[in-house]
Structure formats: C-alpha cells, structure tokens
Structure 1
Amino acid sequence: MKGQEWYQADSVAEEYDAKRFSKGGRLIDRREKRAVLEALAPVEDERVLEIACGTGRFTVMLAERGADIVGLDISDAMLAQGREKARRAGLADTVEFMRGDAARLPFPDDHFDAVFAMRFFHLADTPAKFLAEMARVSKDVVFFDTFRGSSFRTLYNWALPMGSRLYSREEVERLIDGAGLSLRQDDHDFVFPYGFYREVPNSVADPFWSLDQAIGGNAVGEKLSSVSYWTAEV
C-alpha cells in the first residue's frame, strides 16, 4: 500500500481533518458525505463496514443516522482520532473501530448490508484484491471512489507525499466486473481538484463549485472530473 508509513504517523492523524477539511475543504467534506449517504441510504439499522475509515468522519456520521457500523483501518493513530470523534458525539458505545487489513477482512461472507471505502483506492497497490474482499463480505452494496487519470489531478499528483493511483473508467469497470459486482450508478465531480479547493477560503470555494458543476454536467465534463463515485451491487 502506498504511503503506509506516512499515513500511520501520529502527526498526520492529528492534523488530517484540519488540513484537508478547513477552508474550501469543507465543501469537499460536504460533497463526499452526501455521496456516501446517497449510495447507502437508507442506513438506519443497516449493517455497514467502512474500509480505511481514517478519523471516522463517515463512520460517526452514519452511526448518528442509526447504522450499525464498523470502521476498519490499518492506522492505530487514525483509529484513536475516530474513537475520540465518536466519544464527543456520544457514540462511543455504538461505533466499533478496529485495526485490520483490507486485503484479508476478518468477517464471513455476506456479513454486511453495505461496504464502502472513501479515499482508499488511490493508495491501493492491488485494487482487484481489495474490491473482491469488499464484495465478499457485502450482501448488497459496495461503494467507493477513485481519482481519474484524465483530469487536472495529474498536474499535482507528483507532489503528494504518498503518490496517487489514477484510474480510467474502463479500468474501474473491469475491477467491478472482476469482483462479481454490477455497476448500479456512477457520478463524477471536481473538475477543479481537491488541492485547489483546500487552498482557497470557503467563501471562494462555493462560487467555483457552481462553475465546477456547470462544466462537469456533460459528457466532456465527466472526462475532466478528478473524482468518480461508484455504486455497485452484489
């Protein structure tokens, strides 16, 4: 997995949310949470597994909406942040966080109603293996996002500390088919990449987001989008 040492550092976990979801990054957080909710809804009383849960921003959000959720991550430091987030939300006894390997999930077949991973597949060295495991333990929905190769993402990808794997639509469709899944829906966003939004104030991000959606709302715009959301079913 790319950047494991970087990702698991205590300092990275402590600053992760503040660096990525302040300023214009708040818009990214809102959009990603909406994508997860749209893919998994309704979540109340559903058994959900989040792969690479990080600091638990999706885990806690879904628990607040009544999901029976497990958050799995390889980083103890990230899991500690997630547990603290759950504690502050009054959900410490509701959400389960556990350390584990996404390539060997410690659950039986069809154990969850839905399995999802956000900000994960751009780091995956063996994406087919990870997706097959997600499909194995889900009895309904598998949801994940990818970064696209035909986008502005390529312009700053080299500067990221852990690198980033970029995907074409054809590659993702092959992965989905290879995991025995069927594509239910795909959505594409962020012609202006994440790095741009994180650098501008929140008040500036919103007008650019409107322009972003206008550009991305057609076939050409889809090809320029830097992020894709994939909802598949077993």
Structure 2
Amino acid sequence: MKGQEWYQADDVAEAYEDKRFSRGGQLIDEREKAAVLDAIGPVADRKILEIACGTGRFTAMLADRGADIVGLDISAPMLQQGREKARQVGVDDSLELLRGDAARLPFPDDHFDTVFAMRFFHLADTPAEYLAEMRRVSREQIFFDTFNRFSTRSLYNWALPMGSRLYSSGEVADLLTGAGLELAGVEHDWILPYGFYRKVPNSIASTFRTLDRRLGATGIGDVLASVSYWDARV
C-alpha cells in the first residue's frame, strides 16, 4: 500500500485536512461529500463500512445522519483525528473507528449494506485484492473513486510524495467484473486537478470551478475528467 508509513506520521495526520480542504480545497470536500451522499442515498439505519476512513470526514458525516457506520484505517494517528472530529460533531457514541488492514477485513461475509472508499484506490498496490474484500463484506453496494489516467492528474502526478495509481475506464470495468460487481452508475468530474484548487483562495477557485463544470458538461468532459465516482452493485 503506497504511503502506508507516511500516513502514520503524527504531523501528517494533524495537517491532513488543513492541507487538502482549506482554500480552494473546500470545493473538493463539498463535492466528495455530495458524491457519497448521492450514491448511498438515505443513510439512516443503513449498515455502512468506510475503508481508509482517515480523519473521519465521511464517517462523522454519515453517523450524524443516522447511519450505523464503522470506519477502518491502518493509521492510528489518522484514526485519532477521526475520533476528535466525532467528538466535535457529537457522534462519538454513534460510530466505531477501528485500526485494520483493508486487504483482510475483520468482518463476516455480507455484513454491511454498503462499503465505500474515498481517496483509497490511487494508493492501492493490489486493487483487485482490496475490491474483492470490499465485495465479500457487502451484501448490496460498493462505492469508490479513482484518479484517471488520461487526464490533467497525470501532469503533476510525479510531484506527489508517493505518486498515484491512475486508472482507465477499462481497468475499472475489469476490476468490477473480476470482483463479481455490476456497475450501477458513474460520474466523471474535475477537469483541473485537485492540486490546482488547493493552491488558490476559495474565491478564485470558485470561478475556475464554474468553468470546470461547464467544460465537464460538454462532450469532452468525461474524457478529460481527472476523477471518477463508481457506484457498483453486488
């Protein structure tokens, strides 16, 4: 797993959200949360597992909406940030955060309604193995995002601390087939890469985001999109 040691550093965990979701990164945070909510639908009383829950952005959000949710991550410092966030939101008694390996999930077959992972598969060295485990413990739905190979993401991928695994649509289709999953829906977004938005103030980023959406709505939008959100069914 790429970045496994890096994400377990205390200073990385403490700075994670400020580095990625301040300034123009606020737009990324909003879009990712909307993607999760749109895919899962009404979450109240749904049994949900989040893989690589990190600082608990999604775990706390879903718990606050009544989900029966478990978050799993391999990094103890990231989980500590998640527990603090849960306390701040007032849902620390409504969720469970566990340290564990996504390649060997500590749950029985068909244990959850939905299993999802955000910002995970770009770090996966063996994505088929992880997806198979997600499929094993889900009885209904798998949701995840990928960074796309033929996009602006590839232009600055070399500058990232541990790089990213980039996917073509064909590769994702093969992964879904191999895991015995059927694609229920997919959304492609973000012509400009995340790194750009994080570098500029939110007011400026909002203007570029409007242009980004307009270009994304054209015929070439899906081709140029740097991020895809995949909704699959068991």
Runs of 4+ in 1 over 6 A off after TM superposition: none
Distance 1:35 1:15 in 2: 24
Distance 1:95 1:57 in 2: 13
Is 1:54 aligned to residue 32 of structure 2? Answer: no
Equivalent in the alignment of 2:174: 174
Equivalent in the alignment of 2:122: 122
Amino acid at match of 2:181: L
Equivalent in the alignment of 2:215: 215
SS in 1 for 2:195: helix
Equivalent in the alignment of 1:206: 206
SS in 2 for 1:72: strand
Q: TM-score, normalised by structure 1?
A: 0.99
Please state how far the C-alpha of 1:174 moved relative to its aligned partner: 0.4
Equivalent in the alignment of 2:231: 231
Distance 2:64 2:94 in 1: 9
Please state how far the C-alpha of 1:25 moved relative to its aligned partner: 0.2
Is 1:154 aligned to residue 154 of structure 2? Answer: yes
Aligned residues: 234
SS in 1 for 2:157: helix
Please state how far the C-alpha of 1:219 moved relative to its aligned partner: 3.6
Distance 1:171 1:50 in 2: 23
Distance 2:27 2:220 in 1: 23
Please state how far the C-alpha of 1:149 moved relative to its aligned partner: 0.5
Distance 1:56 1:150 in 2: 30
Cα deviations by residue, 1:58-108 (Å, 9 ceiling, x for unpaired) = 000000000000000000000000000001111111110000110010001
Is 1:64 aligned to residue 64 of structure 2? Answer: yes
Distance 2:203 2:59 in 1: 27
Distance 2:201 2:31 in 1: 16
Distance 1:93 1:117 in 2: 22
What's the Cα RMSD here?
0.6
Please state how far the C-alpha of 1:156 moved relative to its aligned partner: 0.8
Cα deviations by residue, 1:18-67 (Å, 9 ceiling, x for unpaired) = 00000000000000000000011110000000000000000000000000
Equivalent in the alignment of 1:10: 10
Distance 2:169 2:53 in 1: 24
Please state how far the C-alpha of 1:193 moved relative to its aligned partner: 0.4
SS in 2 for 1:69: strand
